[in-house]
Chain A
Amino acid sequence: MVMKLGSPHGSRVYWVTWGALLALTVVMFLVDGLSMPRLAFLAFVLSAMLAKASLIGAHFMHLRFERRPLALMVLVGLLLTGTVLFVLIAPDAVRIAAMNHR
């Protein structure tokens, strides 16, 4: 069986992705310089971070062009672990910090 290699759309998709990644990075730096509310800042930069990670995974690592079971095998474990670490456990740190400051 011949293995699939590279993007079926040629190299153009890589440089478009590169441009999108740079644009997102520049916007993240610009937003960092603004004095916007902390929660809005966090929501923006974390969304931009996930968008950049998705672009790299989908286009540079070709997950978009692989068979879906392979992409799911990669994504489910990492997303599940990330969710547990950052959404379920992290709030404990805030509670402990609040207890320490009492």
Chain B
Amino acid sequence: MPETAEQTLDRWSGGVCPFEAGWRKVMMWIFIITDGLLFAGFLGSYGYARLMSARWPDQAAVFDLRLIALMTFVLISSSATMASAVGAVHNPRRSSTLRWLLFTILGGAAFLGMQAYEWTHLIGAGARLDGNPWGDPLFASYFFVLTGFHGTHVLIGVIVLTALAVRWRQHLASAAGVELAGLYWHFVDLVWVFIFTLFYLV
């Protein structure tokens, strides 16, 4: 039986607040979906190349997995501090949100520093976009493209969070703005979960 107009309205909860989420949050989710599809395309293409390759290097021989573990720890922790910043937005003491935001920015900056170190080390060892000393030339191409795109997302996140922290301190940023930045930051963490597993571990 087709649903009634009232049922449709109840399901949609639309107007300027679709899904009871607000149009800005819905727009952020749509951005996350499209960006997620971009990374899904990269990872799908990587999987295809990997399965076809007979000379894919052993990651443990190329990467320092302790550094990758530390990068993962830092990014997961920064996601928890970001969630805490969102959770504290209704706290009358605005410094609570600001403190969590600063921890998140520090985590993002530390991650970028470690990634810069990793890139420098691998480039020094001979990794290039079109070749590398360890095996299939696509290995380094996918390394630079996957971690490069992800690192760019982290860099953009750090810039956005820094601007947000300054605006929050000046009472110019809203609670919803903190939540939107949080959604983006968790997405960056989510993408790393896939890159970490599929590129470094498997």
Contacts and interface: CB of A to CB of B under 8 A. Distances in A.
Nearest to B178: A5
Interface in A43-66: 45-46, 48-49, 52-53, 56-57, 59-61, 66
B40 A85 contact: yes
B193 A97 contact: no
Interface of A: prevailing SS = helix
A56 B20 contact: no
A6 B84 CA distance: 9
7 contacts: A1-B15, A6-B87, A14-B80, A49-B193, A60-B79, A67-B13, A97-B52
B73 A25 contact: yes
Given A1-B20, A29-B201, A85-B43, 17 more contacts: A3-B20, A6-B87, A6-B89, A7-B83, A11-B84, A14-B83, A15-B84, A52-B193, A57-B190, A60-B182, A60-B186, A61-B187, A70-B19, A78-B40, A82-B44, A92-B48, A93-B52
B88 interface: yes
Interface of B: 11-13, 15, 17, 19-22, 25-26, 29, 32-33, 36-37, 40-41, 43-44, 47-54, 60, 65, 69, 72-73, 76-77, 79-80, 82-84, 86-90, 175-176, 179, 182-183, 186-187, 189-190, 193-194, 196-198, 201-202
Contacts of B52: 93-94, 96-97, 100
